[in-house]
Amino acid sequence: MQHYFEDFIEDLVQTHGENLKSVVLYGSAATGEFVPFESDYNLLVALEKISPEDLRNAHSAIREWVKLGHPVPMYFTVSELLDAGDVFPIEFHFMERGRKVLFGEDVLSHVEISDTNLRHQLEYELRSHLLRLRRIYIEVSTSGERLADLMGKSISNFASDFRAIFLLRGIEPPLKKRDILRETAKHAGIEGASFEKVLAIRENEAKEKMEVTEANELFADYLKDIESVINAVDVLE
């Protein structure tokens, strides 16, 4: 991907000029857990200022990046990053632990993270993902393949959120999703076998096509385990 990054950054430099201060890669691609055709290349673009014109001018560069199958980067001003450490503590904690600066300065090194709202944000994120999971399930519940795909894609979001549980307990989170899921299950007092099975789907280890009944049984266990984790988070100080 190095040449893709170089081409994209060159496009951003031509687009934003001196207004471009930093481009940072974060997430699984920065921590060594990237899964080809499944994981995303998550980028943060920091500008000195952001106007509608700046965003319009980025259209061409972003369009080419998205054509490669990657999400639209997050755009922040440098000053916004410095002020957002108390609003997005989960995101900034893990950008802090797993990132690669592709261009410019390491703007995240200057962010002061406050954990005052950490538990509240964690519960909000978990319940939001749970509600979304239930909603989409209604649409895909009659297809084993689509249901397996839903679970496989969702486990990454939940594993990412689960890492904040370790922060609330004053423990350094593991880097690998499998370790995060296992330790989270222990904390919640559950076996967490569904997490292992869904992660195998995510990592393409369970390649055989799932029957509808099997997929629905796994989803029921998966949903129950997620709810148990949320209940454990609800009583954390």
User: Which residue has tokens 């703007």?
Assistant: 107
Q: What is the mean pLDDT of residues 71-100?
A: 82
Q: What is the pLDDT of residue 94?
A: 73
Q: What percent of the chain has pLDDT over 70?
A: 91
- Asked if pLDDT for residue 53 goes beyond 50, the answer is yes
Of 203 and 165, which is predicted with more confidence?
A: 165
Residue 39 has pLDDT above 60, yes or no: no
Residue 90: predicted pLDDT: 74
Residue 137: Cβ within 10 Å count: 17
What is the percentage of the chain residues whose pLDDT exceeds 90? 57
Contact residues for 199 (Cβ-Cβ < 8 A; gap 6+): 155, 159, 177, 178, 181
Q: Would the pLDDT of 197 be above 50?
A: yes
- Higher pLDDT pick, 81 / 4: 81
Residue 3, C-beta contacts closer than 8 angstroms, at least 6 positions apart? none
pLDDT at 85 over 80: no
Rounded Cα gap, residues 200 and 198, in angstroms = 5
- Stretch 158-187: mean pLDDT, rounded? 90
* Residue predicted with more confidence, 108 or 58: 58
Residue 37 pLDDT level (bands cut at 50, 70, 90): very low
Task: With cut-offs at 50, 70 and 90, classify the pLDDT of residue 33.
Answer: low
Own/partner long-range contacts of 15-18 (Cβ < 8 Å, ≥24 apart): 15/57, 15/58, 15/60, 15/61, 16/47, 16/54, 16/57, 16/58, 18/48
